[in-house]
């Protein structure tokens, strides 16, 4: 299905080497990946393999040591409003309320074309989506880690981005909230047709949400080890899927990759 769609994000021979006080550290090598418009990609791999590094490159927050990244036929040279990011460590502005943190993003994208009332309505709708209406006037220091993460998700979704880049967005959430937000995300993405690249540690989450699961080898010099297409029809229902042999097979393939072929080795200091 996904292969018939036009290319949207292209990652061509990308390499990322960091300079550290102890010398250079090759984090990523030879990353080649094409993502179609509207595709949902899960990025999975052990801690420290370079998932956030790759996501930051697509976000345009860093530039690669070698290779090229392209989005919508243009080279990625910096961040842009068409690529919204949900960070692994919810990066909210601590002096602004939850409402203001989301409003800032909405304003940046829509203020040229929409009224203030509409911008407020968008912000309220995004907060409602993640169940944070009651906390709208609180500051990040006054809410839990999971709530902060939900503000970050609301902020990204409120921008209606063409590309949603999410770094373990549900990692800090309890299982029930996590399941609810996964379902919400599926519904939103089906509606907006956003292209999504989402980092996760959770095998079930990867299979439930994605069209393809990109599995990374361990670092240093990590690369894409294998790509698994998840050919499960949409809309997907988590209860029905739990017994679907195709679901179980995909799950097994990812677990096999992670725990047999890329059994976790203690990370050597960078
Ligand atoms: N700015 C940096 N300078 C030096 N080394 C870095 C830098 N950023 C990341 N690294 C190293 O690159 C490797 C990949 O880091 P990255 O944060 O991308 O991993 P990750 O897969 O996101 O891990 P996790 O699952 O724990 O979030 C690690 O060994 C890390 O120490
Ligand atoms: Mg990370």
Tens digits of residue pLDDT in 35-80: 999 999 999 999 999 999 999 999 999 999 999 999 999 999 999 9
pLDDT of residue 66: 98
Nearest to 178 by CA among 158, 149, 198: 149
Tally the C-alpha atoms within 13 A of residue 214's C-alpha that lie toward its C-beta: 23
CA–chain centroid gap for 40, Å, is 9
* Residue with CA nearest ligand 1 atom 27: 47
Structural contact between residues 79 and 60, judged by C-beta atoms closer than 8 angstroms: yes
Closest ligand to C-alpha of residue 46 is: 1
Query: Which atom of ligand 1 is least distant from the CA of 55?
Result: 18
CA dist., res. 38 & res. 225, Å (int): 23
- In angstroms, what is the span from residue 92 Cα to ligand 2's centroid? 17
- In angstroms, what is the span from residue 48 Cα to ligand 1's centroid? 5
Residue 142 DSSP class: G
CA dist., res. 50 & res. 55, Å (int): 9
Tokens describing residue 20: 């550290």
Cα Rg of the chain, angstroms: 19
Tokens describing residue 262: 């890329």
Say if residue 269's pLDDT is above 90: no
96 pocket-lining for ligand 1 (C-beta < 6 Å): no
CA dist., res. 148 & res. 152, Å (int): 6
Instruction: Tell me the pLDDT band of 2, cut-offs 50, 70 and 90.
Output: very low
Structural contact between residues 223 and 205, judged by C-beta atoms closer than 8 angstroms: no
Instruction: Give ion ligand 2 contacts, CB < 5 A.
Output: 52, 88
Which residues, in sequence order, are bridge partners of residue 146?
none
Instruction: Give the pTM.
Output: 0.92
Could you report how far apart the first and last alpha carbons of the chain are, in Å?
A: 40
């Amino acid at each position: 299905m996904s292969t018939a769609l036009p290319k949207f994000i292209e990652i061509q021979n990308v390499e990322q080497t960091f300079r550290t006080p102890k010398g250079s550290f090759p984090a990523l090598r030879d990353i080649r990946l094409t993502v179609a418009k509207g595709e949902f990609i899960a990025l999975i791999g052990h801690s420290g393999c370079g998932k956030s590094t790759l996501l930051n490159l697509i976000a345009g927050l860093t530039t690669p040591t070698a290779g090229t990244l392209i989005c919508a036929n243009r080279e990625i040279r910096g961040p842009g409003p068409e690529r919204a990011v949900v960070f692994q460590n919810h990066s909210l502005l601590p002096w602004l309320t939850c409402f203001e943190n989301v409003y800032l993003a909405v304003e940046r994208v829509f203020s040229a074309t929409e009224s203030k009332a509409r911008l407020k309505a968008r912000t309220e709708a995004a907060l409602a989506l993640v169940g944070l209406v009651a906390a709208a006037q609180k500051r990040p220091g006054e809410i839990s880690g999971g709530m902060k993460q939900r503000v970050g998700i609301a902020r990204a979704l409120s921008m209606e981005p063409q590309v949603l880049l999410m770094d373990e967005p549900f990692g800090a959430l309890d299982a029930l909230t996590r399941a609810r937000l996964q379902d919400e995300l599926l519904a939103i993405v089906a509606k907006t047709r956003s292209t999504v690249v989402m980092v996760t540690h959770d095998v079930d989450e990867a299979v439930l949400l994605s069209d393809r699961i990109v599995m990374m080898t361990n670092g240093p010099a990590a690369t894409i080890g294998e790509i698994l297409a998840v050919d499960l029809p949409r809309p997907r229902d988590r209860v029905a899927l739990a017994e679907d042999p195709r679901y179980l097979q995909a799950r097994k393939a990812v677990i096999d990759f992670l725990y047999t072929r890329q059994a976790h080795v203690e990370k050597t200091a960078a």
